[in-house]
Structure 1
Amino acid sequence: MMYADLIDQEDLLGQLKALGFAVPPGANAEQACECAVRGLNNERATDLRTMVKQMYTSSATILPAVRQAIDKQLLPALAEYQQSRSA
């Protein structure tokens, strides 16, 4: 039997926690991403960008709920943060 590498909600939450982000127990992917982008600073933004890049360039399949949370929460917040830093 073949198993595909998947990035699911638990993987996302685990990666965010490993980076030091406070993720409340029972949070879903979208809630976890909302927590991660609060109070962005240079270090947090860099960590999040690196995490997203690794996830998107890996051979693993990102489950739709996780991809949606990243696309809806993380990417816009990172773009806005970057824009505010260069203004």
Structure 2
Amino acid sequence: MMHADLIDEVDLVNQLRSLGFEVSGSAEQACKSAVCGLSETGAQALKQMVEKLYTGNATLLPAVRQAIDQQLLPGLVRFKRT
């Protein structure tokens, strides 16, 4: 029997919360909230989380990948530029 690890929206929201972000709602809403008012520490934690998710063996469900691609990554880029 094959077992696949999946990262769904609840998993992503829980990971963001475990990093200290006060987020709720869908993956997209949570990612939007996470990048608002980022600190250097928060940006570094998000970067590490995204790297871990993208290089890990778990499968990211489409809504999670979309939220990361459209909210977290651009937010991190904007933070880096400021």
Q: Which residue of 1 aligns with 2:23?
A: 23
Q: Which residue of 2 aligns with 1:54?
A: 52
Aligned pair 1:12/2:12, yes or no? Answer: yes
Q: Which runs of 4+ in 1 moved over 4 A?
A: none
How far apart, CA to CA, are the structure 2 residues paired with 1:30 and 1:62?
14
TM-score, normalization by structure 2: 0.95
Structure 1: unaligned runs, 5 residues or longer: none
Q: Which residue of 2 aligns with 1:68?
A: 66
The alignment's C-alpha RMSD in Å is 0.8
Structure 2: unaligned runs, 5 residues or longer: none
How far apart, CA to CA, are the structure 2 residues paired with 1:23 and 1:77?
15
Q: CA deviation at 1:49?
A: 0.3
Identity %: 56
How far apart, CA to CA, are the structure 1 residues paired with 2:2 and 2:11?
20
Which of 16, 21, 37 is the matching residue for 1:39? 37
TM-score, normalization by structure 1: 0.90
